[in-house]
Structure 1
Amino acid sequence: MASVEIAEEIRSIFPGTEELIVQYLSGYLVDDAGEEEDVLQVANDILDSLGMNHPDDVKRLMARLRDLLAEQLSARARNSGRPKLMKLDKVMDMSKVGAMSNTIGLGEGVDLESINKGKASRVDVKKLEKQEAKLKAKIEKRARRDLYEGSKLLDQHRKQQNYEEMFMKINPLEAANAAKNKSKDIHLPSIDVNFGSNRILCVSLSISVILVVRDSFRSGASLTLAYGRRYGLIGRNGVGKSTLLKHIAMREVPIPAHITILFVEQEIVGDDTTALDSVLKADVWRDHLLKEEGSLNARLATLEKEGDDKRFEDAREEASSRLAEVHARLSDMDAESGPSRAATLLAGLGFSEADQSKPTRTFSGGWRMRLALARALFVKPALLLLDEPSNHIDLNALAWLEDYLQTWPGTLLVVSHDRAFLDAVATDIVHQHSGRLDYYKGNFTQFYSTKSERDRNMRKEYETQMDYRKHLQAFIDKWRYNAARASQAQMRIKMLEKLPELEPPEEEEGETFKFPDAEKISPPLLQLSEVTFGYTPENLLLQGINIDVGLDSRIAIVGANGAGKSTLIKLLTAELRPLSGDLNRNGRLRIGYFSQHHVDTLDPTMSPVQFLASKFPGKTEQEYRGHLGNFQISGMTGLQLIGTLSGGQKSRVAFAALSLQNPHILLLDEPTNHLDIEGLDALMAALSTWNGGVIVISHDERFITTVAKELWVCADRAVTKFKGDVQAYKSIIVNNIKARP
């Protein structure tokens, strides 16, 4: 009985259930229906814990599941009558057991003493131990599977926890107050980071500002995060960078309690709180102390009206003393400047004065992510953790963020694949790979240069050592059995034996993407002529737009979020119709459109091969797998469920599907999000050699510089060509923000 039927039942009765939970429950019920625990009760408890508090619906679902699992549950019931074996603490020789044998038997009325009297045990201890080892391995394997699935559910539960509760738990006020005279450098000795059964790091970690850590996994070197440094954490998709950040954020590694931590990984929950108030409330202790200050002032005002009775005097003295403490703490955290600091942060991230007064529920997911970032910057934790912050903001806000973080007073650990961002912000690079962390001083460009030089030297050293060994071996082979040279050959044998084992330097796995050549078609291919668009005639978004796209076009479009960049792309694809003006399109033209939310449209219940087959039928499985290989989805990855893939792997699947359209023009809206540096390099190389037209919306400076020949700015309802490069545009943005009153 397939788990598909169970999944369909859960979806039909509880249509809002997360797909991850549906898949977990259906797999659990099918795989474990014959095990010891009451699986239906476990499923019932899980649904209750997720807030499925509709008793009638839960009962109906349980009844359906009982019917679907009837055969397996019956088999379990039949087996339940079998005698259960007891596992003893140690292997025992039953012939030496005395009184115990009179009271313990394998079956009713059996006397072991009378059976075994005078006989040695015939139990094969080695076989018994072997069977126990097999059983233990089976239990551990199942536990790892459950831990992996359960960790995803636990992670979702943590995300749903109240922000204030989590903040106070992770950053207790007493510990923060004790931090004044303590070092804020961080030492992470011998941390062991796992995600389910997958080991992410098993290293003795230490971040040092002096030297490059080499082979930290083998040498057990320690790593130290020095206060005031800004670390860029890089590595391929799937190596566990985000997992490492989460472990640090939850203090699952021994971060000193007096060091405040804040991790920005998810958008805030929208409600009626204004954007400005949302930022102010992010500093939970500031908000609590301000409320306590108001309460104390009100209490003192009431007590002042009372008489001179000693108990009122004592109460006034106690309240005054506490108020003085609150004032001191508020002064230490510069609470008075809070509103102006919050407004400045929001303005830098693109929130107008009017936007700052809007309820958070009115903002889209991207803008709520900006709010989450503003809240973190406002709190000013000693250790700020950011996971791909550039994925959620436009080039304008990114330019401001780069400038702002350059003067960040605390420690910053940021995961990013944006080389220009890392060059602007990072003082150090931490490279996560092969279960270890390697540390380099400097920004990304310096890291790349240092690593390339180090890799060349290691390769050269390895080749020199191998040549030396070959030379020794050649002499040994030639003179080993020659009487005159035998002693010399023997000496070289000893020299060879004493040489340490050599491991070849790690080879960096390069990546390549491949788009099919575009067929030649006659121009014009795609044109907008005097196009005006607005969702209502009274509120125009774009006006008088003229653009001509051909096979040789390489255009990058930049501008603030909401200026109309994505709308322009949708006009070119004819997804939107202009209010006035003309869209001219060649009848043979094929457009490949990659939206910034494209990966969300992939069916998580299908494998990449199944997804391509559903969209572009007619090929063999091997052909689909070969095509996915053009975008580094190879081996068993092509047969995994899309829902289990990383963001970068999903992007690769989306590009594979895009290329099967055999497009003449690619319209790419934020294609670099989620791709690691190697994937980004592969995409840039593929687009640079492709013979079709490209229009791209991106915030990645290096990507724009490499791929585009023209830079167009979308602002003030117009789209105009910019006479300059990305650096010049970013400089203008930062200067304009700084010039604001």
Structure 2
Amino acid sequence: MIAINNLTFEIGARALYDEANWHIKPGDKVGLIGANGTGKTTLLRIIVGEYTPTSGTVSMAKDLKIGYLNQDLLSYESEKSILHVAMEAFERQNQLHTEIESLLKKMETDYSEDLINKLSDKQMEFEALDGYNIEYRAHEILAGLGFDDEQQHRKLSEFSGGWRMRVMLARILLQAPDILLLDEPTNHLDLPSIKWLETYLQAFEGAIVIVSHDRYFLDRVINKTVESRKGKLTLYAGNYSYYLEEKALRNEIQAGQFKNQQAKIKQEERLIERFRAKASKAKMAQSRLKALERMERVDDVDDDNPTVNFSFKFSKQSGRHVVRLEDITKAYPGVPILKHTHAVIEKGDKIALIGANGKGKSTLLRIIARADQDFEGKSETGHNVTTTFFAQHQLEALHLDHEILQELQAFAPKHTETELRSILGCFLFTGDDAFKKIRVLSGGEKSRVALAKALTADANFLILDEPTNHLDIQSVNILIQALQQYEGTFIAVSHDRYFLDSVANKIWYIEQQQIKEYPGTYQEYEEWAAKKQPIKEKQVVPAQPKKEENKKSAHPKNETVDKQRQLQQMNRELNTLEQEVTSLEKELAALEELLADTEIYNSPDKLQEINQQYQRKKAELQEQQTRWERLAEEILDFSE
């Protein structure tokens, strides 16, 4: 499908890739991983032709259809609805639709056979390309990514960058490419949308290459892992968890080989030194020295997983109750968020606040942090509670002209330079990196600086809003270690499930404008939630890239769309039956009240009439209930 051979790519004097090789095969689902700065995004740009390699080749079929999601798409502007923007994926279908409309207009005055034949040909091609279902498919994918019916008809320009990126992702998925290149696709998705995308990509039959820091997402989607490291691309034949196990095994073997080789080198050096002084052995010593110089050296294993080696201390211990929320009500114009809800955060709680975007997670954090006072009810901070609030907007509050170390010194003057440099080292700022100006840092590096500041604060309560955004897997692991060592209390919002499962001992979620709590880890919550909602959610099956043998088909059928339409029709019938059952139950209740009235027994004819009505309605209700149960079972079977 795509063959990368002896690829070298240089930036100035630095070789980002040095004779790297990788063959992407049909059906491969690959996680492209590596620390920030190792060239993952650059490699995707080389594949799509945006960058030209210094040497080596990237080969692929000319008709290979590539769908590429990258962060540059955030700059896409349009005054059209997001449904229209998503449907731009159907370039040929849209062109045919315009041509058909034009031909139909001409036929109002021109009935020539030539015009009729043209129209027929266009309509046949439009039908063969499934043109009559493209709006339905766009609607379904946008719904899966979190857009309701009303939002789909709003202008793209009305949405923030994160929501625009979802629209771009929808457009790419609708193109049904042969290979998807996805650069951090979960960055702007909430948990429900991430789960939807996982299921969608699992069913996608084309090849996929994903750059992501979300370990759970990678484990659920990919079947191969490629590590970008030291200019090379190393393949592991499994998902991310397999990669960790296999790499540990390879490192163990390499460490053993390095140790044995070093022992052999020292032994050879002692022999050479001993024999060099003897004239009779000098020639042999010289020969062994040359052999030693020619020996292919085994590298020692580099530690790619730095550990946090400092303790987080605070001068005051908080009281038992850290925050108490009483009768909290919060709403924006036309959007209720919280309504008369209560909650308590106790000392030692490690809370993960989860849920879909728009449910009020960040709003609740601001209420807890006292950053939002515009609400009804009472938010009370407990005795001796000292708080630090980390949110993405705090990256903008960094002093751009400060050096990294200077920024921390200004924020935490009680810490020594040695302590601060130790903290920075844990966040991957080593040596002279501490003297870099804030303004030259990437988004991920700024996030690490802001997090380092938050964790140097003398605070026994941390409020963390999306702390894992812009962090690579290595940096997320560092944050996990830091929070596992932290002896205070914290509440965190994140869509990184591995992070949440590693640090939280309680789960909060907002349901029907109420704060709900699950007393356990994220994994335990997931298992509990799955049992609570056993019926599977409707999932859109991706349109697949056309296989070679199907290209001659004039009228391909979309069985998935037919199935979805049939399921929708069944659900409509079920809703109608529910309404009829409810109506009959009300009528029966009214008749029962009449039959319970003793005065009616003074009129035998009236009693007989009402009793007959009651028996008819009762039989009708039983019939409708039986129909409802049968249809409900069919829907459940059909959804499997």
Q: Same fold (TM over 0.5)?
A: yes
Counterpart for residue 247 of structure 1? 46
Could you tell me how far apart the structure 1 residues matched to 2:174 and 2:465 are? 30
Q: Which moved more, 1:729-738 or 1:703-712?
A: 729-738
2:318 corresponding residue in structure 1:
521
Q: Which amino acid aligns with 1:295?
A: S
Q: Which residue of 1 aligns with 2:622?
A: none
Aligned partner of residue 321 in structure 2, secondary structure? coil
- The residue type paired with residue 42 of structure 2 is T
Confirm whether residue 226 of structure 1 aligns to residue 25 of structure 2.
yes
Structure 2 vs 1, CA of residues 571 and 513 (structure 1 numbering), >3 Å: closer, same or farther? farther
1:502 positional shift? 4.2
5+ residue gaps, structure 2: 53-57, 540-566, 569-640
How far apart, in 2, do the equivalents of 1:191 and 1:735 lie? 49
Report what 2:80 is aligned to. 273
User: C-alpha distance in 1, partners of 2:536/2:82?
Assistant: 22
For residues 734 and 592 of structure 1, what CA distance do their matches in structure 2 show? Answer: 39
Q: TM-score, normalised by structure 2?
A: 0.75
Alignment of 1:685-704 (within 5 A): 685-704=481-500
Provide the C-alpha distance between the structure 2 equivalents of 1:225 and 1:572, rounded to a whole number of angstroms.
48
Moved more, 622-631 or 377-386: 622-631
1:290 corresponding residue in structure 2: 97
Higher strand residue share: 2
Q: How does 1:586-665 map to 2 (within 5 A)?
A: 586=382, 588-612=384-408, 628-665=424-461
Change (3 A) 1:514 1:683: farther
Q: Aligned residue for 1:219?
A: none
Partner-residue secondary structure (3-state), 2:491:
strand
Report what 1:22 is aligned to: none
Deviation at 1:342, TM superposition (A): 1.1
Work out the CA distance in 2 between the residues paired with 1:342 and 1:456.
49
Q: CA–CA distance in 2 between the matches of 1:569 and 1:575?
A: 8
Give the distance between the partners of 2:299 and 2:494, measured in 1 at CA. 41
For residue 738 of structure 1, give the secondary structure of its aligned residue in structure 2.
coil
Deviations 1:183-204 (A, max 9, x none): xx11123333345665422324
Relative to structure 1, the CA distance from residue 699 to residue 602 in structure 2 (aligned partners, 3 Å threshold; closer, same or farther) is same
Pairwise CA distance, 1:479: 5.1
Q: Deviations over 1:479-533 (max 9, x none)?
A: 5556897787677556545533444344435253756313313333221122111
CA contact (8 A) 2:34 2:228 kept: yes
Change (3 A) 1:588 1:322: same
Change (3 A) 1:249 1:718: farther
Q: Distance in 1 between matches of 2:37 and 2:453?
A: 21
Aligned to 2:578: none
Name the CA shift for 1:548/1:476 in 2 (closer, same or farther; >3 Å): same
- Displacement of 1:663 in angstroms is 1.3
For 2:7 and 2:175, locate their aligned partners in 1 and report how far apart those are by CA, in whole Å.
Answer: 27
The residue matched to 2:537 in structure 1 has which SS?
helix
TM-score (norm 1): 0.65
* Secondary structure class of the residue paired with 2:235: strand
Match for residue 257 of structure 1?
62
Tell me, yes or no, if the aligned pair for 1:228 and 1:409 is still in contact at 8 Å: yes
Contact map agreement 2:319 2:347 (CA 8 A) in 1? no
Secondary structure, aligned partner of 2:6? coil
Gaps of 5+ in 1: 1-184, 206-222, 307-312
8 A contact 2:308–2:426 mirrored in 1 = yes
Matched residues in 1 for 2:85 and 2:475: separation?
36
Alpha-carbon distance in 2 for matches of 1:475, 1:581: 83
Where relative contact order (Cα < 8 A, 6+ residues apart) is larger, the structure is 2
Residue 726 of structure 1 deviates from its aligned partner by 4.8
* Distance in structure 2 (CA, Å) of the matches to 1:430 and 1:726: 32
Q: What SS does the corresponding residue of 1:191 show, helix, strand or coil? A: strand
Q: Name the amino acid aligned to 2:363.
A: T
667-676 vs 615-624, which moves further: 615-624
| Deviation of 1:423 (Å) | 0.2
| Aligned partner of residue 217 in structure 2, secondary structure | helix
Q: Deviations over 1:640-664 (max 9, x none)?
A: 3323222221111101222343111
Give the CA deviation at 1:371: 1.4
Identical positions, percent: 30
Q: Secondary structure at the match of 1:602?
A: coil
Verify: 1:389 aligned to 2:185, yes or no.
Answer: yes
The answer as to 2:204 corresponding to 1:408 is: yes
Evaluate the alpha carbon distance shift between residue 730 and residue 607 of structure 1 in structure 2; reply closer, same or farther with a 3 A threshold: farther
User: Do the aligned partners of 1:383 and 1:412 also contact (CA within 8 Å) in 2?
Assistant: yes
Deviation at 1:597, TM superposition (A): 4.1
Residue 18 of structure 2 is aligned to residue 190 of structure 1: no
Corresponding letter in the other structure for 1:189: N
For residues 469 and 673 of structure 1, the distance between their equivalents in structure 2, rounded to whole angstroms, comes to 47
1:328-375 per-position Cα deviation (integer Å, ceiling 9, x unaligned): 654554333211211111111111222222222332222222212111
- Write the mapping of 1:166-565 to structure 2, written as runs, cut at 5 A: 185-195=1-11, 198-205=14-21, 223-252=22-51, 254=58, 255-264=60-69, 265=71, 266-267=73-74, 269=76, 271-299=78-106, 302-304=109-111, 316=114, 320=117, 324=121, 326-327=122-123, 330-331=126-127, 333-478=129-274, 481=277, 496=292, 499-508=295-304, 510-512=306-308, 516-518=312-314, 519-536=316-333, 539-565=335-361
